[in-house]
Structure 1
Amino acid sequence: MLLQSGSLRCSPPLRGQFPAGGALVRARIKEPEATRRRNALRRVDRVLSKGNYKIALSLVRRLQGKPGGLRGFGAAKQVPRRISSLDELKTIGVDITSLQSLLDSMLNSIERSIEFQLSNENSILDLENLIKGSYESVCEDHVMCVQHEAGHFLVGYLLGVLPKWYKVSNVEAARKGNYPAGKVEFLGFEFLREVDGANILRRNFSSGKLCNRTNKGKISTNALNRFLCVLLGGLAAEHLSFGYSEGLHSDVEKLNRVLKWLGFTESEADCRVKWAAVNTLSILVRHEEARCKLAEAMALGRSVGTCIDIIEDTLNDNEI
């Protein structure tokens, strides 16, 4: 058995959530639309498998907001940019202050990862490689890995960033002692190649110097915000599923490198990250059921198109 629903640590669905009576009739009426959507997503899968990512994105955009199409892609309601704390959400009629401890824990994980990056010659990714196989409960680590990647996938999709492909190790490999690892690759973050090519020295991070203010124009504000939220989607999913996150995070290292490459000061970067953390948590809290079902599908190795279809099915009776 790959994953037990209990092991996903998701809350059970509320009573009365599923349609009955006349609602079932409406569900049958919608069935042809769901069939059209699945057929269209099979075509998206075929295009993705050939590496024609821009064509795949074009196909997905044609399906946005249409009958039998995709109502979730790029449709997530986002926290206003001026908001950087859960308390401030009350001013716009949203109260998720019960998540304050999770937000604090998430921000502490980010700070810890950045501090390690500044004080150690090895990258966080190097550290992750060194500690592979050291955990006592590999199966639990596997579940955390799947939830992490599902968080990336779901936040990206709802913000309009198309996943190109993903991978998560299967539970059999984890049981044989292989450290569970995963990745979701998105279309639209190609600027990362330029960031990596710049080979920014770590002493620039610690000194707080600006790397290059002229780089700011290379990424739009909206694109940067989506990137930050997608990167934090994995960390946020871990905290929502387990209440904590183990270890350090290469996602945070990547986030920090990009912000420094763009020339943000420490204060500016801090504001951006806090907003992204609040925004990401608010999205994942609203779509807990979608995240759980998506994680199950990813653990089974379902195609990107099938994963998207599962998200859309779950969103049908939920507010995006």
Structure 2
Amino acid sequence: GPLSKLDECLERVVAAEVAGELGLAASAEIEVQAVVSRELQGLLRSFGTADQLPKRELTLQELRENGVEAASLLSPEDTTLDHVRKGLLAIVALIGTVLIVALHPTWFELFRIIFAGFLALLVDQVVTQGVLELVVVDSIARVLDPEYRIRVSQHEAGHFLVAYLLGILPKAYTLSSLDALVQYQSPNVQAGCVFCDGDFRREVASGSLSGRSLDRFICVALGGVAAEYVRFGQARGGLTDIQQIESVLQSLGFDQRRASAEVRWAVLNTVSLLRRHADTHLQLSEAMARGAPIGECIALIEQDLCSSA
């Protein structure tokens, strides 16, 4: 059907980007837009139709009156991976101690082992920017900590749903560092959602970003932390999302007051969207956790929103 064709087009976009063929990727993205406008026009009834809050400057007190504690959303701190790293170091130290006691290596052999380990860590940090360590730690965390897995899927489903409701088409998603490494074949790509946002990138490159585009960008970037906040009362992942927002606002020359006003409105707008569509978000996160293709995720959103309308 049309959604299967959309999946095929999106896969071509991603494949072209992975191959570094940016011209081909741009052409494939235009094809995606054509499929959406022609063949899916009657099917994507919820795409870009979100009821948003009127744009105005909000205080922290007004956020609290609407049940939003900004600090719990905008200051994410995830200690899961740090705990896994410390656990791994403790295990390595224990194994090393046991081997030393059992094998009685010479000082030279011990130095060679330590040097080899140090060199491996150095190569990972310099050549792959620490991606191999991240893949190992993230994979172990996903096995040992079910809550971590759930949080990641809820987080990325927040990005996905907010983007879709605001009229930005999700292009692909990954929920683990290993999946991201396999899909994009690059150590510089993190797990998460990516979008058909060529228009936004062109606006940023030209230095003339419209207010509508900026609002949508900030809301989508906040979708992950907002989803965690709505579900758990505290965001843990998403620090890079917050830093990305700060970087864009700084590059646009926003002072602290104006930047805070933009973010506060976007926080309440995004949280309101996710509260309104909490059931859809939960079902979407479950579909993404089992690896559903983009088309299936879109069909789920449309079916759920239409049935609840």
Residue 162 of structure 2: aligned partner: 155
Compute the displacement of 1:70 (Å): 1.2
Q: How does 1:68-83 map to 2 (within 5 A)?
A: 69-82=43-56
Q: How does 1:132-281 map to 2 (within 5 A)?
A: 132=137, 138-169=145-176, 182-188=191-197, 215=207, 218-246=208-236, 249-281=239-271
The aligned amino acid for 2:36 is V
Compute the displacement of 1:270 (Å): 0.6
Which one has the largest radius of gyration? 2
The aligned amino acid for 1:105 is S
CA contact (8 A) 1:163 1:186 kept: yes
Q: Which structure shows the bigger proportion of residues in helix conformation?
A: 2
SS at match of 2:173: strand
The aligned amino acid for 1:44 is L
Alpha-carbon distance in structure 2 between the residues aligned to 1:83 and 1:282 = 16
CA contact (8 A) 2:57 2:262 kept: no
Compute the displacement of 1:127 (Å): 10
Structure 2, gaps ≥5 residues long: 14-27, 78-128, 180-189
Alpha-carbon distance in structure 1 between the residues aligned to 2:263 and 2:130 = 23
Alpha-carbon distance in structure 1 between the residues aligned to 2:212 and 2:203 = 19
The aligned amino acid for 1:226 is R
Alpha-carbon distance in structure 2 between the residues aligned to 1:219 and 1:184 = 22
The aligned amino acid for 1:307 is C
Structure 1, gaps ≥5 residues long: 1-38, 90-95, 111-125, 173-180, 198-213
Aligned residues: 230
Percent identity of the aligned residues? 37
Corresponding position: 1:84 with 2:46: no
TM-score by length of 2: 0.65
SS at match of 2:229: helix
SS at match of 1:77: coil
Provide the alpha-carbon RMSD of the alignment: 3.4
Residue 116 of structure 1: aligned partner: none
Corresponding position: 1:45 with 2:7: yes
Alpha-carbon distance in structure 1 between the residues aligned to 2:238 and 2:197 = 26
Compute the displacement of 1:43 (Å): 1.2
